[in-house]
Amino acid sequence: MAASLYQEFYKLAHRKVIWIAPIILLGLMVLAGYTVGYGESKLLTALSYDSHDWIMFILVIVGATFFSMEFQNNAILTLLYKASSKLYVYLSKLIVLLVYNLFLHGLALILTVVLRWLPLNKPVAWTTLYQYHQPLWENMLKASALDLITTTLVISIIFLLSCLINNNAVVVSVTFLLIFMGQFLSSSILLAGNLFSLNLLPLVKWNPFNMLNLTAQYVNYITYHATSHLETGQLLNGALLYAIGFFILGYLVFRKKRF
């Protein structure tokens, strides 16, 4: 397992996109600061300058290639030959991507602190009360922690799709389609549940796409609760359960896959 982890971290560190991504993240956060508005400092701080959406974008690009690219060039055969178990190969890739996810969120928090010193938005004290009568710094940290769960769900979807589909370009395209249209799909499903049968709503509101509203609902509860029909705690539990389920399904597909 240790050898597999070392190998995956080594490969990740030598990918150019890994080091370009933080620069792109900074640029997009600055862009968000300019476009959202000078008077929206509290919202921007709580959302870490909208870094959550950009991190999700980066994870799709990086994560979608973890399996599919190695399936395409048959490098997976070398990994399986050197590892004592398929489980070790799967877990090592999972752990590496989760660590990178944590790194991106930590970086976003640091960049948020730095950007607050720039004249992008109206100065607001960290102790200013914002959502849930909590200080702004607490809103920011909690939103970032919840987004770690949301992006972990995204990673689980990426892993499942990567194990099902060998083509790298297809995996990236399908993942983008599912992830970034998730809120729209969820809203459509819930609307259909309301239109055709009120009895379906208690069931369809637990669809996995709805769980992607977790971070946004924490920061803007009134708007997103009307869409999700779930409490924030329910979205959190649902995201965790779906993430675990998709990770297990991904491994079962990977274990049965023939190379």
pLDDT band at 80 (very low <50, low <70, confident <90, very high): low
| Cα–Cα distance for residue pair 209/97, rounded to 1 Å | 21
pLDDT band at 156 (very low <50, low <70, confident <90, very high): very high
Select from 256, 58, 244, 219 the least CA-distant residue to 145.
219
Interhelix angle 86-115/16-36, rounded to 10 degrees, is: 40
| Cα–Cα distance for residue pair 138/189, rounded to 1 Å | 33
In terms of residue numbers, what domain contains 238? Answer: 2-256
pLDDT of 13 higher than 70: yes
- CB within 8 Å of 217: residues ≥ 6 apart: 224, 225, 228, 232, 235
pLDDT averaged over every residue in the chain: 86
| Cα–Cα distance for residue pair 212/31, rounded to 1 Å | 23
Average pLDDT estimate for 31-49? 85
Query: How open is the CA angle 84-158-247, to the nearest 5 degrees?
Result: 55
What are the tokens at 169? 């370009």
pLDDT band at 192 (very low <50, low <70, confident <90, very high): low
pLDDT at 250: 93
pLDDT band at 58 (very low <50, low <70, confident <90, very high): very high
pLDDT at 258: 72
pLDDT band at 101 (very low <50, low <70, confident <90, very high): very high
Listed range (58-62, 83-87, 159-163) with the worst mean pLDDT: 83-87
Number of domains in the chain: 1
Select from 93, 104, 75, 100 the least CA-distant residue to 250.
93
- C-beta of residue 14 within 8 angstroms of C-beta of residue 58: no
pLDDT of 110 higher than 80: yes
What are the tokens at 155? 């990673």
pLDDT of 197 higher than 70: no
